[in-house]
Structure formats: C-alpha cells, structure tokens
Amino acid sequence: MSKVYEHPLANNQAIKNFQKYLQIKSVQPNPDYGSCVDFLTEQAKELGLPIKIYEFVKGKPIVVISWTGINPDLPSIILNGHMDVVPVVESEWKYDPFAAEIDKNGNIYARGAQDMKCVSIQYLEAIRYLKQNGVKLRRTVHISFVPDEEIFSADGMALFAKSQEFKDLNVGFGLDECGPTPNNEYVVTNGERVSWTLEIVCHGNTGHGLMLIPNTAAEKVQYLLNKFLGYREESRKKMKHHLYDLGNVTSVNLTNIEGGVQSNVIPSKITMLFDCRVTPNDAVIFDALVKQWCQEAGGDSVTYKYICKDPVLPVTKTDDSNPFWKAFENIFKKRNNKLFVGILPGASDARFLREIGIPVLGMSPMPETPFLLHNHNEFLNAQTFLDGIEIYKELISAIANVE
C-alpha cells in the first residue's frame, strides 16, 4: 500500500475530523464502538452541546447530541447516521482502508468514506458553523449515531425508535443516508423498497429419465421462470436513469433452485427461491401476480410462501402538504442544483422512523462520485465533502426553522 503526499486540504479542520472518524475501526463483525463514543463525546464538548448515550443492548451504544431550539416544544429534527461499516479485503485496496489518506486528486480513501461517516461529520461541521455564527434555530436538532445498521439494525435503530427515550425526543422529521451519483445531480429518497423472499414449490409426475412423462415439476418451473424473468426484463427496460432508478422498479432474481434425487429420475418436486425487492407502488400488483402465475403454472400442485415479507411503509410526501419537504426543496432551487427524487433501492434506518409515522428524507451529497458503497477502494473527494457541509448549513437551518 502506497503512502500519499500531503494534500493542501489535509490541514482543514473539518477534513481532519472526518479522517479521525474514518480511522476508527468500527468494522463489522467487531466494531470499535467505544472509540466512536470517545470521539463523539469530544466533538460534543467542542460544540458545547449535551450528549446522551443509550445502551439497549450491551456493547451497542446509541449516541445523541442535541442542540436545543428557541421553541423546544415544537417537534424536533433528527439527523441520523450509523457508526458501523462493512468489512474490507485489505489486499484489494490501494491504501490502508482505515488510514483515511488523501491522494493527489484530493480523494480520501477509507471504509465508510461514502457509507456513511461522511454525512455524520457533515452534520456536525454544519452545526459547528451555525453555532459559531450565532444562528438560532426554531426547532431542536438531534444528531444520532447508531450501531449495527450494516447488520440490519436489530440492536440499533430498530430498538431505539420504539423506546421511551426516543419518544422523549419528540421527533417530527428526519434526515438519513442515501448515496453518490455519477453526474451533477443530488439524489433524495422518500421511501425504500421492501425485501420479500419468495419460495415456490412445484410438484409433478415422476418416473424414469428416459420417458416423456406429462405434467412434470420441471414444466411448471419453466412456466414460472418465463413469467418471473420476463417481469425482471421489463423492470430492467424501465431503468433510464442511474442506480436510483432501481428504487422505482421491482427487481426479481432467482437465487436458488433445487430438486431431484438422481440423474435418471424425473424429480417429483423442485423448489425455487426468489429475492424480490419491491417498490412500494408495485406491492399489491406484484403480490397478485405471484398468486396468478403459480395458479396458472399448476393449480394446487404449485405452492408458494414468503419466507420474508417486510411490511410496505408509507413514503414521505414530497408535495405542498409537507412543509419540511418544501423547505428542503427550496434550498436546492436557490442553489440551482438538480434534484432527483426516488425510492432508495436498498434499506436504511429511515424505515424504522417511517414505520412510526415520522417523515424522513435520505440524502448523501456526493455528486459526480462513483458508487463504491461496500466496494474496494471506497473514497470521497475532500472538496465534495466540504461542499456537502455547505449544503447542510442551509438545509439544517431551513428544516429546523419550519414554523
């Protein structure tokens, strides 16, 4: 792994704080949450803001730094981020993935640079600026740092969102993560696809492999594969944008197929598993199609069940009925930035807030940046990171001052 030279932006204090956070090995499956808590406690002290640490599961801290507004009785704003990052294959990285070094192009290489330590530090740096410049906000702002998002959040936001401690925060609106875009657009997500794992079992006549027996399990499998893969192709054709078009279609992938006992015996049963990521607007129709296709394939001889079927949650409104959305959108209009609104293709902790009725938007301000979440050589350009802080200065002020 190469050592990079000293980039001019390396002396920027916000960059230093970003690097320091990236250098903490909060990597699954054994994240160093203790060092994250120490770092965030230091940040809260510098900001002159109170910090609370909750622990619903031992060793899984939830950190909340709060900035009290002029009218603390109004529903508050929560700016959420997760502390953990996914594992790395160090041999595949140009630089040490936990050194957060800057190359000659100003790119900061580290696990978590995009997902999502950048956003959490941008929140803090924006608030640092606002406080130092005497800005007063109408609503209280909470910055939360939660564990285990990368392993489905069971001991993190899933518990926190249902707790009395969370209820006491009186949250009325939130921001969470999204991801980069390869062009000059900014992406904001107002909902998420849900994960449905579908198991289909096809029964049919069995016999010797030399026979042409009718009504076999394989014929029913063929019919269903044609339907599901045809649906998959139609979804693929609808994608005209970039990665985030995935959020607006339902993706279906065959992930497992098994059956049979021997090469010369026609199987009496074949089982298929499909990974389905369902966009909210498609859920009812897709569910009906699955039932229809299985009936057409073989009636009672074809059965199906969902091994996993996450609930479909309401999307956050992006119209005049949502004053937080209007405040959010107006910032980008003033900046003349392009804004793409869609459904997040994957999952984030925002789903737990939407489940309890709190509107949340997802955004990570990383335009003209390759999508490297969970990939080797994850990086974020230092100037892009600093530009993101400028955006959050305006966004936080706008949404926290909604009347």
Torsion from C-alpha of 34, 37, 43, 48, nearest 10 degrees:
-140
- Is 79:175 a contact under the CB 8 Å cutoff? yes
Q: What are phi and psi of 349, to 5 degrees?
A: -70, -10
- Contact indicator for 142, 39 with CB cutoff of 8 Å: no
Beta-bridge partners for 176:
362
Contact of 202 with 266, CB cutoff 8 Å = no
Distance CA 202, CA 214 (A): 14
The helix or strand, by DSSP H or E, that contains position 380, with its residue range, turns out to be: strand 379-381
**Separation between Cα atoms, residue 63 and residue 38, nearest integer Å:** 10
Q: Is 149 assigned a catalytic role?
A: yes
CA–CA dist 282, 231 (Å, integer):
12
Q: Which of 148, 149, 329, 378 is catalytic?
A: 149
In this structure, the number of other CB atoms found within 10 A of the CB of residue 208 comes to 9
Rg from Cα positions in the chain: 24
Quote the strand ranges of 204-351, DSSP E: 207-208, 251-259, 265-266, 269-278, 302-309, 339-344
Tokens found for residue 369? 């940046």
User: How far is Cα 107 from Cα 383, in angstroms, rounded to an integer?
Assistant: 9
Cβ within 8 Å of residue 74, ≥6 positions away: 138, 139, 140, 172
CA distances for 114 relative to 28, 38, 170, 371, 393, angstroms: 16, 22, 29, 8, 19
Residue 359's SS3 state is coil
CA distance 249 to 230: 14
Reported as type and span, the H/E element at residue 192 is strand 186-192
Report the relative pairing of strands 141-146 and 76-82 from DSSP bridges.
parallel
Residue 388 · residue 21 · CB < 8 Å:
no
349 assigned to active site: no
Indicate which residues carry an active-site annotation. 84, 149
